[in-house]
Chain A
């Protein structure tokens, strides 16, 4: 007689959620330290040379502001997935996850557009701390974004693959995007606005 095996034991409680939180704290501390160094170099450069942003470099604010607005949408959609998963609305959860992933990809695209528009050399003829710090901070953020998109893909796969009761993963996913939103707000204010 052919019988289906018994169901897997329930997933360990809050392991993913706490793990994600620890990852967020680690990444937040890293970017926070980088922003502190940015402020140090900026103050020193302004005191000695009178300027921080190299001559001829213009920061395109439209895509930077667009990224900020995109994060507002991501917050809404990430929370929508949590709400939909809680109410067992599978199609809504899938749609929310897809939107988060697509908007995340759009943010990566916008960041690439900023790089292309600025044409800021990594070293150039007269390398300054600005060049290095700009790419270090925004590059780290870009990496966190790519990890976030990967997180969304894994969450979507697991949820659509039948683990609809694993709401903790959805919550951890939303937490990660909340963290990225807060982090970008700090990066946006320090790197793009105050320059």
Chain B
């Protein structure tokens, strides 16, 4: 027996189907297709609804059903309040925004949707665990608190650390330690006050902590927007296109700091393939696996070369790797390039570790690859062959 709703959907299905046939026969071209496809889609949708409506008997409850009063939607208790649909909607909005703006917003949106979906799912499940809402809420807590609290703690800690880092990067170098001491002092004093008054209410402590956290996050956000202070790049031997590598003495200006504070000892390393020693005004190279000193040495193209330079001279010296000479075209002008790598100044009896890579074979360079020490007269450089 067809119900009233089913009859209506059946009629709509037949009507859509007839309309699709008539429209298809009377209209040609692109708009013919548009109309036919649209009407056929409507026919399929109506047919589907007819089937569902017929199956559910228009949603009518039989008077003979013994569970009718309990199973009807009207008999159900209202769903408990939940913030997860709202949070999931925010996540979906973030996904849409992130798709056209920044990937981090998109990824954040995905995480929010997944987290909200999980919470929503568990809450929906626990709501129907029993007839007692309190028991159901307890069940949800028992399931999710072991996951929620560590994650919330980690996120909270991350926010505090990030906010504090923005503050420390905003204030000047000398003011940093003062702020650190003051912040530590305030926290210590606050702890002292709380310990002094054991009867103080938990709500007051929570309120003070919340205000402090809010202040920290707000200050951090403001300082993050304003931007960090300018931090000058620490000079190294590679500053100014390795210019210091040609000097026998300390680098000029701030670059001297790199030479003055360079490490003078090398700890045990397993990856060293070459040891170069400066002694009696000459360089000796000992290659791993080869007996005695060698000149020239051979290294593989593109491989990382790790060497230790030992200074047995009475002066401070640096080891320089002359990495050939190449000509390149810069906006129509031919420019010569002589790349170099070097250690900082090594004190007498000191040693230093140096890493470099030779990406091209020796034959590609106008000058040979060599290891040399600037400022040592009569020194015979060690040639590096790259097959």
Residues on A facing B (Cβ under 8 Å): 4-15, 17-18, 21, 24-25, 28-29, 32-33, 35-37, 39-44, 47, 150, 153-154, 157-158, 161, 163
Task: Specify which of A6, A10, A44 is in contact with B130 (CB 8 Å cutoff).
Answer: A6
Q: Are B130 and A33 in contact (CB under 8 A)?
A: no
Given A9-B75, A39-B34, A29:B29 Cβ within 8 A: no
Task: Specify which of A4, A14, A36, A154 is in contact with B34 (CB 8 Å cutoff).
Answer: A36
Q: How far is the CB of A53 from chain B (nearest CB, A)?
A: 16
C-alpha spacing A32/B39, complex, angstroms? 9
Additional A-B contacts beyond A14-B59, A39-B33, A44-B30 (12; CB < 8 A): A5-B132, A9-B76, A9-B131, A12-B72, A12-B75, A21-B49, A32-B40, A35-B41, A36-B34, A36-B37, A39-B30, A47-B29
Q: How far is the CB of B269 from chain A (nearest CB, A)?
A: 43
Task: Specify which of B37, B71, B121, B125 is in contact with A163 (CB 8 Å cutoff).
Answer: B125
Encode B57-89 as 1/0 by CB contact (under 8 A) with A: 001000000010011110111000000000000
Where chain B touches its partner, the secondary structure class is: helix
Residues on B with C-beta less than 8 A from A13 are 71-72
Residues on B with C-beta less than 8 A from A25 are 45, 48-49
Residues on B with C-beta less than 8 A from A15 are 73
Report, nearest first, the 3 A-B pairs whose CB atoms are least far apart.
Answer: A32-B41, A36-B37, A5-B132
| A-B contacts, CB under 8 A, total | 101
Q: How far is the CB of B32 from chain A (nearest CB, A)?
A: 8
C-alpha spacing A8/B170, complex, angstroms? 57
Nearest neighbor of B65 in chain A, beta-carbon distance: A13
Q: How far is the CB of A145 from chain B (nearest CB, A)?
A: 15
Residues on B with C-beta less than 8 A from A42 are 30, 33
Q: Are A8 and B131 in contact (CB under 8 A)?
A: yes
Cβ of B4 within 8 Å of any chain A Cβ, yes or no, is no
Residues on A with C-beta less than 8 A from B38 are 32-33, 36
Residues on B with C-beta less than 8 A from A40 are 30-31, 33-34
Residues on B with C-beta less than 8 A from A150 are 117
C-alpha spacing A21/B117, complex, angstroms? 21
Nearest neighbor of B31 in chain A, beta-carbon distance: A40
Q: Are B41 and A43 in contact (CB under 8 A)?
A: no
Residues on A with C-beta less than 8 A from B75 are 9, 12
Given A12-B71, A17-B56, A32:B37 Cβ within 8 A: yes
What is the interface size of chain B, counting residues whose CB is below 8 A from a CB of the partner? 38
C-alpha spacing A25/B50, complex, angstroms? 11
Given A15-B73, A36-B34, A28:B56 Cβ within 8 A: no
C-alpha spacing A123/B312, complex, angstroms? 66
Given A21-B48, A154-B121, A11:B41 Cβ within 8 A: no
Q: How far is the CB of A65 from chain B (nearest CB, A)?
A: 23
Interface residues of B in 195-216 (CB under 8 A from A): none
Cβ of B18 within 8 Å of any chain A Cβ, yes or no, is no
Given A5-B130, A11-B128, A13-B72, A18:B52 Cβ within 8 A: yes
Given A18-B56, A32-B44, A5:B34 Cβ within 8 A: no
Residues on A with C-beta less than 8 A from B73 are 12, 15
Cβ of B180 within 8 Å of any chain A Cβ, yes or no, is no
Residues on A with C-beta less than 8 A from B129 are 8
Residues on B with C-beta less than 8 A from A18 are 52, 56, 59
Residues on A with C-beta less than 8 A from B42 are 29, 32
Residues on B with C-beta less than 8 A from A12 are 71-73, 75-76
Q: Are A161 and B125 in contact (CB under 8 A)?
A: yes
Q: Are B67 and A37 in contact (CB under 8 A)?
A: no
Q: Are A10 and B48 in contact (CB under 8 A)?
A: no
Nearest neighbor of A11 in chain B, beta-carbon distance: B128
Sampled A-B contacts (6; CB under 8 Å):
A8-B128, A13-B71, A29-B42, A32-B40, A35-B41, A42-B30
Residues on B with C-beta less than 8 A from A24 are 48
C-alpha spacing A154/B118, complex, angstroms? 9
Residues on B with C-beta less than 8 A from A154 are 121
Residues on A with C-beta less than 8 A from B125 are 157-158, 161, 163
Most B C-beta atoms less than 10 A away, residue of A6, A15, A39, A150: A39
Q: Are B48 and A8 in contact (CB under 8 A)?
A: no
Interface residues of B in 128-158 (CB under 8 A from A): 128-132, 135
Residues on A with C-beta less than 8 A from B130 are 4-8
C-alpha spacing A37/B67, complex, angstroms? 48
Most B C-beta atoms less than 10 A away, residue of A10, A28, A36, A163: A36
